[in-house]
Amino acid sequence: MRVNESAFHPEDKARSLIDRRLVLCGWVVQSREDMNLGAGLGVAVREFQTASGPVDYGLFVGRTLCGVIEAKSEGSTLSGFSEQASRYIAGMPKHLVREPGQVRFEYVATGTETIFRDHADPDPVSRRVFTFHRPETLGRWLKEPATLRGRLQAMPTFLTDGLRACQIEAVSNLERSMAANHPRALVQMATGAGKTFTACTFSYRLLAHAGFKRILFLADRANLVRQTRDEYLAYRPPGTGRSFSEIYNVQKLGGAGLDKDAEIVIATIQRVYSVLTGKDLSEEDEEASSFEQPNTETERLVTYNPSIPIETFDLVITDECHRSIYGTWRQVLDYFDAFTVGLTATPSLHTLGFFGKNLVAQYPYERSVVDGVNVGFDIFRIRTEIGERGATVKKGYELPVRDKRTRVQRYETLEADFSYTPDQIDRTVLAPNQIRTVLETYRDTLFTELFPGRTEVPKTLIFAKDDHHAEEITQLVREVFGKGNDFAKKITYKTDGGDPEALIGAFRNDYNPRIAITVDMIATGTDVKPLEVLIFLRDVRSELYFEQMKGRGARTISAEKLREVTPDADAKTRFVMIDAVGVSESLKTVSQPLERNRAISFDRLIDEIAAGRRDDDAFATLAGRLAALDRRIGERDRAAIVKASGGVDLSGLAGRLLSAIDPDALAARVPKEAPEAEQKAARDAAKDDAATILDDPALRRLLKEVKAAADIRIDTVSTDAVVSSGWDEKKAADTVDRFQRFLEERRDELTALQILYRLPYAARRLTYEAVDDLREALRRPPWLLEPVDIWRAYKRLASDKVKGNPAGTLADIVMLVRYALSQAETLEPLPSLVAGRFNLWLGREEKAGRVYTEEQRAWLMAIRDHLAVNIEIRPEDIVDAPEFAGRGGILRARALFGVRLPALLDELTDTLVA
């Protein structure tokens, strides 16, 4: 008979879940009446009697009583019950305690959450663990004369021969941090300062002297895993006279899984995730870096894997740790009961927050240049007409159109003028003359301005937007320099006719290639010390990624080694960064993108939904991609999709998916007061109904083919020319004039402008959609205006009235319009204004007798920050937005503010944004 768990007492339900978790971890669970300590190595006895009363579980390993589990109902905060568990430990039957401290392992657990404390540790403190340890592990710990944390407090001094001062500092401070039982630590070391060598050093010391059993090293990409493995194999611990691999086993983790004899395991976090979950991992998934497309899935996908228990690793080192601390990837780090050490050259606030601000060593780039570890750089800015403003091709011209999937080219006669913006270049439009102009400028200034007196082209790395862009650049480099194939090589994961690793080796060690074109493969971590020039033909919005890319040119190299590949070079004293797209000027963010599931491919996502995936993020992501695809395809593909789907176009498909997760649409089907089970059933039914159309494999194949074949137009007509460097007043004045003319001409058409102009027939309040429509109208021909450019133009013309830099949000547009309409005397980002307005509002509230609790204030500040970026806030935002969902969502907000919540949202919107 099936047990009705909903009828259980909450703690009984927790015990039922704990029973299952214990069994998965290798324990035999028994009642007190049926106790049989010979039934297995580890036995957990329910309701075990102590002098302080029965404890939920007594833990026996090899017939020895060694620990307890105190069970609590789900939702309980656990730390307060640790002392209760300690009393049970102290009250254990004396005839079962043969040695002092024998009963030392303490767990406090619900069905989903567990904290653990080993009373034999120095200053024992509870720590959160994913689940329970295996009996074999507790048995091993019982036999050891000191705990791992105790051994960390007795580490011997180490030989510092061959170590830089920054490496000595990192190892020393890291060991002190671990001895103080800080679970996470962050080491900042500039690119080229030897982060991996430092990791090898402290890995050896922890294995040799602290009794660590196994260490996991996480690298960003598969080629960096190989590079890291080679460094561990070559490392020679001081004083041993042997290589690391002669002392310890080093494994590169692959699809076959974990080698039980390995003491060092090196892998991508994607690979560890795939091994934990049993999911397949393609080579492409493991090779591509995710700096700008991190995995942001938030549902709990990692569950306990008995073949890889939580104690598998004592230490996890995550190199370039920015992306490994988010979403699903963070779950991998949380899975293991291990110390976590982050290595980075560019720490962000998010990274510091994850590591508890425990920055144990800091060695910034500027210091590394002073110390001669790295070289400095100069920026050479190239601006071209097309690169700055885009171009317009008049109707009547015949343009090539290339299928990006097959690279088949056809011709299309323009029936109307075709305008494109700089943002579209090399994504939906290819402008070979713009690339050629940049490359010719590089060629013509190479031996006069950049490297006067030299005759050899320095080792040069060009960053492209994608593989198609890289292919075009490669051909144009060979053409502009009049050299053969060996002179310039494309080095990406889709390199044809050659091993990318071999090409990197040749670029690093041989005379040819002189110029390499890449997308991501050499963007982070890969060392090419002879590099002297980086050319950016792609913009980068991530500050962290940009710093990593710049770091490729920073490595020092001896004059002799440099001359082996560049014969006429005297020495590498700096590198030159050639900025052809404004990458050194564009706004950067250190925040993680909040877009849903950007890392998953279109093909995989559509198949997963067809197979039954039903989370909101998947539906929202596919809807967004279908809508974006709809704007890019031609009438032929559009008609084919309508026919295959039985009359539904891409916009309709996207709409179906969004309606299935729209709270308002759900409310129209099921009253909000309906039971949660009924609402869930309605949600599930809506999603199933929306996804039914994807059951047809022919339609799915067509959608994938259309997506892969998205055409790119090739502008062979427009000519390009270099313009002067810097922002001149004429260009700034032109930008401001176009913006003001736009406002006047569109004031009656766009809802946001109607509101901002305070027209009598306007709606009352700005909405996200209205401001987004305004932004898109600015970007379209003939205006081709970006808010960032408008902001900079105003700053160039009146710097005393422009404060701060735009935040890259819709709020910037509102501030620009208000300034242009003289509704504000100064131009400054909305967040800086909102903070002051919010404090004034709080003061007025207190005078009115409304005093808020600490939790209410935290909610109010989250609402404030949301408004500062998004202009408005809606009840569904409190349901969906991560900053609110993590606080308990709409239910918690209603509990805190009651019926006043809607009025409070309106009041804050009017006060802070209006």
Topology agreement, domain 149-286+301-371 and domain 376-390+425-579: yes
C-alpha dihedral over 715, 719, 723, 727, to 10 degrees? -30
Where are the domains positioned within the chain?
10-145, 149-286+301-371, 376-390+425-579, 728-828, 832-913
Query: What is the band of 591 on the pLDDT scale with cuts at 50, 70, 90?
Result: very low
CB atoms within 10 A of CB 822: 7
The pLDDT value given to residue 719? 63
Residues 6+ apart with CB under 8 A from 833: none
Helices (H), 510-634: 543-550, 559-565, 602-610, 616-630
pLDDT confidence of residue 324: 47
Q: DSSP character for 7?
A: G
Q: 71 and 17 in contact (C-beta within 8 Å)?
A: no
Residue 725 tokens read as: 């460097």
Does the pLDDT value for residue 765 go beyond 70?
Answer: yes
**pLDDT of the residue at 265:** 96
Q: Which of 648-657, 663-672, 876-885 has the highest mean pLDDT?
A: 648-657
Q: b or e along 502-520 (b: 16 or more beta carbons within 10 Å of the residue's beta carbon)?
A: ebbebbbeeeebbbbbbbb
- 10-145 under CATH 3.90.1570, yes or no: yes
Residue 612 has pLDDT above 90, yes or no: no
In 3D, which of 512, 532, 537 has the Cα closest to residue 437? 537
Point out the least confidently predicted range of 46-50, 251-255, 461-465, 763-767: 763-767
Fold (CATH) for 149-286+301-371: Rossmann fold (3.40.50)
Between 20-24, 285-289, 306-310, 842-846, the lowest mean confidence (pLDDT) is in 285-289
Q: What is the pLDDT of residue 106?
A: 95
Would you state the structure tokens that stand for residue 724, as one six-digit string?
């002067």
Residue 405 pLDDT > 80? no
* 914: its two tokens: 């209006």
Of 491, 496, 486, 440, the residue nearest 470 (C-alpha): 491
Q: What angle do CA 682, 686, 691 make, to 5 degrees?
A: 150
Which ranges constitute the DSSP H helices of 446-581?
467-481, 500-509, 543-550, 559-565
Residue whose C-alpha is closest to residue 195's, from 372, 376, 363:
363
pLDDT band at 299 (very low <50, low <70, confident <90, very high): very low
β-bridge partners, 516: 461, 489
What are the φ/ψ torsions at residue 902 (nearest 5 degrees)? -60, -45
The answer to whether the beta carbons of residues 150 and 130 sit under 8 Å apart is no
Least confident window among 26-40, 708-722, 899-913: 708-722
Residue 751 half-sphere exposure toward CB, CA atoms < 13 A: 12
Tokens of 774: 């305004």
Q: What percent of the chain clears pLDDT 70, i.e. is strictly above it?
A: 85
Q: Which helix (H) or strand (E) holds 340?
A: strand 339-344
Q: Which two tokens stand for residue 103?
A: 């009963």
Report pLDDT for 901. Answer: 87
Query: How sure is the predictor about 522, in pLDDT bands with cuts at 50, 70 and 90?
Result: low
Determine if residue 649 is left, alpha or beta; phi over 0 gives left, psi from -120 to 50 gives alpha, anything else beta.
beta
Indicate whether 604 pLDDT > 90.
no
- Beta strands in 560-692, from DSSP E residues, in sequence order: 574-579
> Which long-range contacts (C-beta less than 8 Å, at least 24 apart) are formed by 47-56?
49/93, 50/88, 50/91, 50/92, 50/93, 51/90, 51/91, 51/92, 51/93, 52/87, 52/88, 52/90, 52/91, 53/88, 53/91, 55/85, 55/88, 56/11, 56/15, 56/18
Pairing relationship of beta strands 488-490 and 515-518 according to DSSP bridges: parallel
CB 725 within 8 A of CB 381: yes
- Mean pLDDT (whole number) for 193-200: 90
Q: What is the pLDDT of residue 775?
A: 85
- C-alpha–C-alpha distance, residues 751 and 70, integer Å: 60
pLDDT of residue 525: 54
Nearest alpha-carbon partner for 325 in 286, 355, 358, 293: 355
Question: Has residue 323 got a pLDDT over 60?
Answer: no
pLDDT band at 134 (very low <50, low <70, confident <90, very high): very high
Mean pLDDT, to the nearest integer, of 515-531? 77
User: Pairing state of beta strands 105-109 and 114-118?
Assistant: antiparallel
- 809 pLDDT higher than 60: yes
Average of per-residue pLDDT across 174-186:
94
Q: Mean pLDDT lowest for which of 406-415, 583-592, 904-913?
A: 583-592
Q: Which fold has domain 376-390+425-579?
A: Rossmann fold (3.40.50)
Question: On the CB side of 780, how many CA atoms lie within 13 Å of its CA?
Answer: 8
Rounded distance between C-alpha atoms, residue 253 and residue 266, angstroms: 6
- Collapse the DSSP code of 376 into the 3-class scheme (helix H, G, I; strand E, B; otherwise coil) and give the result: strand
Compare 570 and 541 and report the one with higher pLDDT.
Answer: 570
DSSP state, 278? T
Give the tokens for residue 901: 């919540």
List strand residue ranges (DSSP E) for 433-573, in order: 460-463, 488-490, 515-518, 533-536
Q: Is the pTM of this model over 0.75?
A: no
Average pLDDT, the chain: 82
pLDDT band of 372, cuts 50, 70, 90: confident
Specify the higher pLDDT residue, 121 or 544: 121
The mean pLDDT of 688-701, rounded to a whole number, is 89
Beta-carbon neighbour count of residue 51 at 10 Å?
11
Six-digit token string for 206: 């922890």
